[in-house]
Amino acid sequence: MEIIADLHIHSKYSRATSKNLDLENIEKYARIKGLNLLGVGDFQHPLWKKEIDNKLREDGKGILWSKRGFPFLWQTEISLMFSKNGRRAVHVVVLVPNGKIANEFIKYLGNSGRLDYDGRPIFGISAEKFVEDVKKIDDGIEIIPAHCMTPWFGLYGSDSGFDSLEECFGKERDKIYAVESGMSADPSMLWRLKEKINIVSFSDSHSFWPWRLGREATIFELSELSYWKIINAIRTGQGLKGTIETPPEYGKYHFDGHRLCGFSCSPEETKNLKGICPKCGKPLTIGVEYRIEELAKEREGYKLESGKLFYKLIPLHELIAFAFDINLTTKKTNSIYMGLIEKFGNEFNVLLRVNKEEMIKAGVDDKLIEMILLNREGKIKVKPGYDGEYGVIEDVEKVEINNHGKREGIIEKQKKLFE
């Protein structure tokens, strides 16, 4: 059984999220995207917890089911802010086995601070103490450092992070089994750190729109759908088939820069500038690529022996908008998008599985077919994001139209995850 899961999302009760981010919309667009397992997000928030309890029903395997038969896991994100040789801030994704333990976890959090002001609450607890406390509630609770490379709230962040898992989690390090790559990094970058850890990828979506939800996801190969099968795959790597990533350049913190100054640069230029913005004279926000070079123990191209296959895919709405020179959120973009969904079932089918001949037969525009195929091959150039700004498509590599054999060979290699 192949499961494509996004286990890091939020609800309408988190800051900077859509007011329509409810369970119905999340499920609707997850199906359109091609996801078949979601986290519920923000389950400790009192109002959201009521909606979960009223609208979802838990089976005996730790899975919550909607009325239309879509599966969810108990999931939330917690912000830990504390002092440990300086100011530290680490975000973690938390997965919980069942409703009973979810209630115990909520009680623990409630004893440490308020739960009703934000779907992603902040607690003054160290990462090490948090893991120790939570594991006393139940060892089945899974704690995954979220978007592990982002500057301010990632485990390895350039501003307030740590240089290693052990430095962050201390004696509780052995209870951390995976990290979330985040949009500005991919597994090949993280392999260079040589940390003994599995890598998962989820969207951290603040919206139900399919260019956000499922933009990053993890692919599991399981004998059955259950909480423990998912957790065993995360902990051991057995059943963890691979990940779907955006190109790191697409993420909001890949390059260094200042958003308000409209300035970004590569790590090499940052070094030449001695880390100072040439426009305002203040320190630049240091991005993920720079930070990787600081921490890396291996050269670029190093392949971890236990590393899994992964895709780098730009969301379909972005491809449509670029191909036809229209805005990402227009009715025209969505009309073209939904036409593809009607023809091919879901977005992941379009991005990964439907071949050129099928698209031609279905009347898909030649420009869009070319974008979809180039996306599969990693031949779309993205101007890197920086300091909170997403990366944007700026060009595509030219390929010979008659180079069919080579192209198909690349695509077949990419399809291995789905065989």
pLDDT of residue 182: 97
pLDDT tens digits, one per residue of 5-15: 999 999 999 99
The stretch 115-133 carries a mean pLDDT of 97
pLDDT tens digits, one per residue of 237-258: 999 999 999 999 999 999 999 9
pLDDT of residue 404: 41
pLDDT of residue 217: 98
Q: What is the mean pLDDT of the chain?
A: 94
Long-range contacts of 404-410 (CB under 8 A, 24+ apart): 407/373, 407/377, 410/376, 410/377
DSSP 66-83: -TTS-EEEEEEEEEEEEE
The stretch 86-101 carries a mean pLDDT of 97
Residues 6+ apart with CB under 8 A from 207: 17, 18, 21, 213
d(CA 199, CA 180): 6
- pLDDT grade for 395, boundaries at 50, 70 and 90: confident
pLDDT tens digits, one per residue of 332-346: 999 999 999 999 999
| Residue 345 DSSP one-character state | S
The stretch 372-384 carries a mean pLDDT of 96
The stretch 111-115 carries a mean pLDDT of 95
pLDDT of residue 397: 66
pLDDT tens digits, one per residue of 29-67: 999 999 999 999 999 999 999 999 999 999 999 999 999
Whole-number percent of the chain with pLDDT over 90? 92
Flag whether pLDDT at 356 surpasses 70.
Answer: yes
The stretch 209-229 carries a mean pLDDT of 98
Task: Mention the CATH class of domain 2-249.
Answer: alpha beta
pLDDT tens digits, one per residue of 290-321: 999 999 999 999 998 889 999 999 999 999 99
- pLDDT grade for 400, boundaries at 50, 70 and 90: very low
Flag whether pLDDT at 401 surpasses 50.
Answer: no
Strand partners, 198: 178
Residues of the chain with CATH 3.20.20.140: 2-249
Reduced to 3 states (helix: H, G, I; strand: E, B; else coil), residue 250 is helix
Angle formed by the axes of helices 23-33 and 46-55, to 10°? 70
